Structure 1
Amino acid sequence: MSGTTGKPSPLGATPRYDGYADWYESFNAPYAEANRDLIVRLLGRGSGPCLDLGCGTGLHFAALREAGHVPVGVDVSADQLAFARTRGTCVRANGATLPFADAAFPAVTMLWISTDVDDFQAVVREAARVLVPGGSLVFAGVHPCFMGPHIEHRDDGSRIVHPTYRIADWHEPQPWWTGRVGLRNRVGMRHVPLADLLQAFIDAGLVLETIVEPEPQHPVPPSLALRLRRPESPRH
């Protein structure tokens, strides 16, 4: 959701995936399918529009429809939205300044975007604002403790944690990324430490209902998923 030029768009965010949309569509398709059941389960059955915040090429729209919702995608990457618009309604916008009224959506998803947005706290705050009271927000992303710019992956499945975990900032490729030619060597990565990630949802007034470390086939969980709810009335 956040471009290969390194220059902010007129929307005030950097479309780092522009220029990579064709590659990313193929790269991400199997992951989107593998996570489909997880997204449906966390959303639960619903109806009405669901905002997919940082929708990319729209590969998660199928899961939102399966859960009973009509997907509405938002992303800053024009190249990715060219794919997403073939799958549903989309708006090009900065996730930190959404062009929607308060309480406009009964459900919101934030799927694998925490490493791509420039101001995660602002994006969460906007997601909470456009969520109806009682509505659900589903977050899924890389596990801040076990996946990130501070992690060196070893061939035996073990991981080395480098002393950059607490650097909550944009990270360019590091020496221990050598040989990994996937997504992050193309677009870089912003790291959000676990405490910062959870605090962003707390500060936005959301209530945590479910927390999951999916993909049990991996001894070390690569991802983290949450279901949160906007309270019916403000908490005191």
Structure 2
Amino acid sequence: MSARYDGLAEWYDEYIGSTAGDGIADVARLLGPGDGPCLDLGCGTGLYLDAIRSTGRTPVGLDRSADQLGRARRRDGAPLLQGDAAALPFADATFGTVTAIWVSTDIPGFPGVLREAARVLRPGGLLLFYGVHPCFNGPHIETGPHLEARGAGGEGAVVIHPTYRVQGWHRRAPWWREGGVRDRLGMSHVPLAELINAFAGAGLAVEHAEEPGERPVPMVLALRARRSPGGVSGARSAG
């Protein structure tokens, strides 16, 4: 996550924390039992650190925002580092598990982040992606009051705007929820095909895909992937 969250950590934690329960349970379930250190990329205010710990792993959080990390330190005693997810301060094959939870929309150049995540994973190590569903949740999606005001669709309906194929950083659109996280910060977008290709390009083999939740149109995408034994082509080497 970039330092754009500095100054918003307290607000963000209250805004997101009240709705994080299902996601926290999903993350623990999708990880399954394990051990050893687990890097939580873009750990934010630490909402998911205890879920990682509950699986038997030892969480290590990394985030670019000092304010987010300050909130995380008050919540959890896990080791926390300030750093850039696209240039991780760890040697190759350091972690048995890496989590990337709700970060694809916060980090421009997410394919590069996946390559770095794969680099610090041990061969056969697990990466869990849990976050925005690129088809039905993103800067191109209109939901909620905007649709109701027009009498469009039923409960849980979404409208997909033609900006779906526009990759990279998006500024505010008229259909974004006023006062929400994306309204305040903007949002990065990786279309589904590019996301899957990014996993393949990083040497990560998807072993399980899921669309958690009971909404008629899924808002969340989860992918469990393993680092291939051959490693990552062209990855940066750390000391």
TM surpasses 0.5:
yes
The residue number in structure 1 matching 2:213 is 215
Is the counterpart of residue 89 in structure 1 residue 89 in structure 2?
A: no
The residue number in structure 2 matching 1:152 is 142
Cα 1:235/1:149, change in 2 over 3 Å? closer
For 1:161 and 1:235, the matched residues in 2 are separated by 34
For 1:33 and 1:60, the matched residues in 2 are separated by 10
* CA displacement, residues 30-55 of structure 1 (integer Å, 9 cap, x when unaligned): 33322122111211111111000000
The residue number in structure 1 matching 2:166 is 167
Mind listing any 5+ residue stretches in structure 1 that lack a counterpart? 3-14
Pairwise CA distance, 1:22: 0.2
Pairwise CA distance, 1:234: 5.0
Mapping for residues 15-164 of structure 1, pairs under 5 Å: 15-86=3-74, 87=76, 88-153=78-143, 154-155=147-148, 156=154, 157-164=156-163
For 1:195 and 1:108, the matched residues in 2 are separated by 22
The residue number in structure 2 matching 1:12 is none
Residues paired across the two proteins, number: 222
For 1:137 and 1:117, the matched residues in 2 are separated by 17
The residue number in structure 2 matching 1:227 is 224
Aligned residue for 1:39, secondary structure, equals: helix
Aligned residue for 1:146, secondary structure, equals: coil
For 1:99 and 1:25, the matched residues in 2 are separated by 26
Aligned residue for 1:108, secondary structure, equals: strand
Cα 1:112/1:235, change in 2 over 3 Å? closer
Mind listing any 5+ residue stretches in structure 2 that lack a counterpart? 149-153, 234-239
For 1:31 and 1:67, the matched residues in 2 are separated by 21
The residue number in structure 2 matching 1:10 is none
* CA displacement, residues 90-110 of structure 1 (integer Å, 9 cap, x when unaligned): 111000000000000010000
Pairwise CA distance, 1:233: 3.9
Pairwise CA distance, 1:235: 9.5
For 1:182 and 1:234, the matched residues in 2 are separated by 39
